[in-house]
Amino acid sequence: MALGPNNLFNGGAQLSGALAGVAATDVGLRQYMLRVYNYMASGLLLTGIVAYGGVQIPAVMDMLYAPAPGGGLQPTMFAYVVMFAPLAFMLVLSFGIQRMKASTAQTIFWVFAAVMGLSLTNIFLVYTGASIARVFFISAATFASMSLYGYTTKRDLSRFGSFLMMGLIGIVIASLVNMFIQSTAMQFVISVIGVLVFVGLTAHDTQNIKLMYAEADGAEAMQKKAIMGALHLYLDFLNLFLMLLHLFGNRR
């Protein structure tokens, strides 16, 4: 088949159109991922502010902690409610986001982040401020590296999802058991395994969030996807931070 001027022109036009479509997708994907990271970072900032602020407000501390018989502080019943309340918000978002408006989902995410902050006030009572800051930056560097890997790798990470979920379930069960037996050795093992699991989940979830992007999605659907993606990465970062804090934090 001979290539005439018309053939070359049509071929060039098709190539230009394809390249333009790829470029538009790349721009849209970058904007979508930026929105995910902005939600996640804002949620973490809100959690940190509430956690630190709660320690500074006596009325909040009185609601969360009471003097222990042997000295020190012990959690109140309200503290246990606050501790498990974030789970309820997560379930509402995970199973109900399709039926709610994006603005409602966003509000629930902010409330979830704030309540999570209340549940974490104890870390400022247990660990020194310097060690919390140090572990935070270690966690941020680790998270950023693994999230970047998950975003850029061509390797399919979905096959690791089942192993990571089994590890996550094991960590949750072991942590609940250790709440009653208070074993230091068991907490060390949980923290080491937890670091490995949440490092893997950071890369795995980032790749999944990237694959969830669709150029044809409307603004409402895109915002919902960004909120759910931010929730997953928020939990990955926060749990990674807590596991590292158990390992490297300096107690008061």
What pLDDT digit, counting tens, does each position of 66-96 carry? 887 877 778 889 988 998 888 898 889 888 8
Model confidence at 218, in pLDDT bands (50, 70, 90)? confident
DSSP secondary structure letters along 50-75: HHHHHHH-HHHHHHHEEE-TTSSEEE
**Amino acid letter at 182?**
Q
> What is the number of residues in the chain?
252
Model confidence at 230, in pLDDT bands (50, 70, 90)? very high
Backbone angles phi, psi at 74, to 5 degrees: -135, 150
The answer on pLDDT for 235 being more than 60 is yes
Torsion of CA 15, 21, 24, 30, to 10 degrees: -100
**Amino acid letter at 4?**
G
Q: What Å distances lie between residue 92 and 81, 84, 95, 97, 98, CA to CA?
A: 17, 13, 6, 7, 10
Say whether 138 sits in a helix, a strand or coil: helix
For position 25, what pLDDT does the model report?
55
Q: What is the mean pLDDT of the chain?
A: 87
Tokens, residue 177: 């058991």
Instruction: Count Cβ atoms within 10 A of the Cβ of residue 208 and give its class: 0-12 exposed, 13-18 middle, 19 or more buried.
Output: middle
**Helical residues (DSSP H) of 182-218, grouped into ranges:** 184-212
228: Cβ contacts below 8 Å, ≥ 6 apart: 93, 94, 97, 105
pTM of this prediction?
0.86
For position 72, what pLDDT does the model report?
75
Model confidence at 16, in pLDDT bands (50, 70, 90)? very low
For position 40, what pLDDT does the model report?
96
What angle, 0 to 180 degrees and rounded to 10, lies between the N-to-C axes of helices 5-56 and 219-248?
Answer: 50
Q: Rounded distance, CA 13 to CA 235, Å?
A: 46
Backbone angles phi, psi at 155, to 5 degrees: -75, 140
The answer on pLDDT for 191 being more than 50 is yes
What's the whole-number mean pLDDT along residues 237-246? Answer: 96
